[in-house]
Structure 1
């Protein structure tokens, strides 16, 4: 019988993805603690342009995107360093997803320059063994954003979240770089309800080693 306390041998690098507010960082932390995996989190608090971006997206989009691109590339390169304490890595972002935001926020020469830099960096970053896309709805995403209370997100434009939601769905509809598990988690609360959390984690543990799998998660009786 497989060891339920350890990740399968083929899962050495798992990425959790989703739109702002989907719960990807929370899930990445859960996986890291449960399976003693190295945790790599997006360093959004270190981006000096992020608050200004939310105040004026057109003015600060390019600086914000380049700062994120550089930070993520450094993290991805560091992941190749030996780690004596962790066999696996769990991250709350995919390097590729940066392009989703770039195409939402940049245009013209700025987008062209961004694409040039991205294409130079992309071959030097590791490919995940599994990408988990936490799918939600714009309404649930806005609810989660309000609840977590980050000051610079409180005036988040619902139209921006809706456009990101559509862009993410389109991106992962065509995604083929690695095995993909799409979990529609809009109806569940895996933070406060253990049964829903365990079901979600079991789907990750049993994820197919190739192709795309879609799972529609339903709320348990305790949350219905």
Structure 2
């Protein structure tokens, strides 16, 4: 069976370790502080201000990269190995960084003997560090990051170049795409304002709780305007979707069970499920007719009939979706991408060839 439980690294579920990651300026520390009271957690914040080489590094990266990186490595190790373990004994912990990111920065800034020396030290320390139970990865475009860095105006960040931030953003994307040591929850922060907009913060809190197994969360669907309009395009661009997540989950479940290999069998199953759905609909229509005399109008009768049949519709639709996800996986189709393209181009011609 596919194991969807939350292991929490051998700790009890209430003592989880949530780490927030992302490029400089994306808002990790701000979000960590806002999540602390919402999740009743303790904070473990990076003490980057204590690094005496940081300001010089942003002025002359090549000259001060090694000193800066080694200081960060040892400082982060002390926090992650000693302080974090102590905090987790009394409850959940939220950190605004991961120990793993140190190596990402090292590979971006060090070369040759310096990188080799760093790797030896890092490898000796990394095995003693506690891994997160969930990583909250905050994403933002480079211009947005540069604007946020300018707004907070930290003296040692004034010389950061846009080129460096872009290279760092690309490195983070590659790192997170291949990261397998903990679940990663991605949050697009380009249009998110968790400080001024309580709804944005509530959305993030609910997504985190859901990922931690503390509740369910259905992401909001976009309110679409007429296809092809500016409003529709903006809604499609900013919509938070989960169809791709469901498709990946279906793939994992089928790999574990051995199902989903035969597309013809899956199509037959889909036809059967659609038939069941049609049967439920026919019974609902019949029930509506019998209730019309009781309610005196069609609208209330239909609502009552649907209400009585909603559970059957729910199960039938879920079965149909399972078949569609399985078929899309078998045929190598990005179902979410295909669906969003149809929303953008509802009148695009279909290939009718057999």
TM over 0.5: yes
* Matched residue, 1:152: 156
1:80 aligns with 2:85: yes
Report the 3-state secondary structure (helix = DSSP H, G, I; strand = E; otherwise coil) of the residue aligned with 2:52.
coil
* Matched residue, 2:68: 64
**Which of the two has higher C-alpha Rg?**
2
2:77–2:129 contact (8 Å) kept in structure 1: yes
Report the 3-state secondary structure (helix = DSSP H, G, I; strand = E; otherwise coil) of the residue aligned with 2:127.
helix
Residue pairs, 1:167-182, within 5 angstroms: 167-182=171-186
Among 185, 189, 195, the residue aligned to 2:189: 185
Alpha-carbon shift at residue 200 of structure 1 (Å): 1.3
More strand by share: 1
2:21–2:138 contact (8 Å) kept in structure 1: yes
Alpha-carbon shift at residue 48 of structure 1 (Å): 0.7
Could you tell me how far apart the structure 2 residues matched to 1:145 and 1:21 are? 5
Alpha-carbon shift at residue 201 of structure 1 (Å): 1.3
Could you tell me how far apart the structure 2 residues matched to 1:218 and 1:190 are? 16
Could you tell me how far apart the structure 1 residues matched to 2:106 and 2:56 are? 16
Pair 1:97–1:184, CA change in 2 (3 A): same
**Coordinate RMSD, CA, aligned:** 2.1
1:135 aligns with 2:172: no
Unaligned stretches of 5+ residues in structure 1:
1-7, 210-214, 220-224
Could you tell me how far apart the structure 1 residues matched to 2:27 and 2:57 are? 22
1:37–1:90 contact (8 Å) kept in structure 2: yes
1:53–1:61 contact (8 Å) kept in structure 2: yes
The Cα offsets for residues 130-161 of structure 1, whole Å up to 9 and x where unpaired, read as: 00100111111001000001012122100000
Q: Higher RCO, 1 or 2 (CA under 8 Å, sep at least 6)?
A: 1
Pair 1:82–1:93, CA change in 2 (3 A): closer
Could you tell me how far apart the structure 1 residues matched to 2:77 and 2:34 are? 24
Pair 1:82–1:157, CA change in 2 (3 A): closer
Deviates more, 1:25-34 or 1:108-117: 25-34
More helix by share: 2
Alpha-carbon shift at residue 35 of structure 1 (Å): 2.2
Aligned residues between the structures = 206
Task: Give TM-score scaled by structure 2 length.
Answer: 0.55
Unaligned stretches of 5+ residues in structure 2:
1-11, 214-218, 220-235, 240-354
1:135–1:184 contact (8 Å) kept in structure 2: yes
Task: Give TM-score scaled by structure 1 length.
Answer: 0.86
Residue pairs, 1:1-224, within 5 angstroms: 9=13, 12-78=16-82, 79-81=84-86, 86-207=90-211, 218=238
Runs of 4+ in 1 over 6 A off after TM superposition: none
1:188–1:218 contact (8 Å) kept in structure 2: no
Alpha-carbon shift at residue 218 of structure 1 (Å): 4.1
Report the 3-state secondary structure (helix = DSSP H, G, I; strand = E; otherwise coil) of the residue aligned with 2:186.
strand
